[in-house]
Structure 1
Amino acid sequence: MNNDIEALHDGWLDEIVSQLMQPSVGAVGAKLLWPNGMVQHGGVLLGVGNVAGHFGNRLADSDWGDHGRNQLVQQVSGCTAACLFLRRQDYIEMNGMDQHSFPVAFNDVDLCLKILALGKKIIWTPYAKLLHAESASRGHEDTPQKKARSWREIEKLRKKWGLALSEDFSYHPSLNLDPNSHAFGGLSIPPRNRSIRISRLRKLKSTKNY
């Protein structure tokens, strides 16, 4: 859990633990809000910017979102490590986070893909709600040095996981990947490959890309 996280209600940890008690679940993430009450994190959507991005940005906490996704417990391809819970033994088996390749960004995306490679699910729950002042400690990617480091991490993630980053199995390939369109707000024209995402997931689970 990041140092810029603040719990907003009682019982949030009970909700996360209850989800993690399921043997098939490898990690559980929470609903994170900006200080103004808008959604900062509703799960990770693979493919945004040809890498990954937060789902549900710019929805109000009380919005249902398309198909009610902003208010429903669901399986996702990843969650931010700003608030992410998993079992110690799984973390050790995966050799934890890769602090050398991903010292600042995308270490959580890499970790979540390793969890999927174990054959386990990642769950996002709106019933654990916390406030997240994103980048309050480390600042924004607003200097040449930070931007260069960010691009190095992006290239390493693409090299390591390849097409897995463009085939989010929990998101329909006919929907666009524009993070500013509320995700379900528009279609992908043309649609992405519909036949490949399940095979990619199976291939991901058959390898230990640690």
Structure 2
Amino acid sequence: MKKIVHQAVYDTLADWETGHATAHLRNGSWHREPGAYEIVTVGLTTDPVVSMGGLRITPDLALDQLSPDDSALLILPGAELWDGGHELAPFARKAREFLAAGVPVAAICGATAGLAKEGLLDDRDHTSGAVQYLEAQEGYAGAKRYLDQDAVLDGDLITAGPTEPVAFAREIFRRLDVYRPEVLDAWFRLFGRSDASAFEVLMTA
């Protein structure tokens, strides 16, 4: 059976932030287990949403149908709605459920603010666009665990800022053990640093 990775989708989601992760999970090239992953989208409801780039997406299932028992990972992309109120708070509460069950959660950009408000960053190493961004979120008390890095993996939690979709994907792949270490290093050097010497490593993987 394929492992299911769930990606949250909602109006104003930032299209560019999760594409490397979902495309390369689904594609299977260079994987330890080719063809192991399937991407399933999750909305607040199954009503269509429109991304920041204008893509219309119909979620595969509604959030109240999502259980960590059925998932290998929950991905939370950024969106303007994370900064516009509490509409997306149910996704942060679902992230709490996933983490409590030992199922990883990956949050990037504004989604890190949602987790901050939920108190999920207070006792875990994490990053975001800037620590000041998280300090502006009501309920955040995790500045002592903030790391000024491209992406951070701490146990079952992966975080990144809006300019780091490739590093975000790298830490997702690391947590899921998708690639052998030398392949993961080459993947990041190629897609994150445009290092042509990494291509040969991938072609012989």
Confirm or deny a common fold (TM above 0.5).
no
Normalized per residue, the structure richer in helix is: 2
TM range (shorter): under 0.3
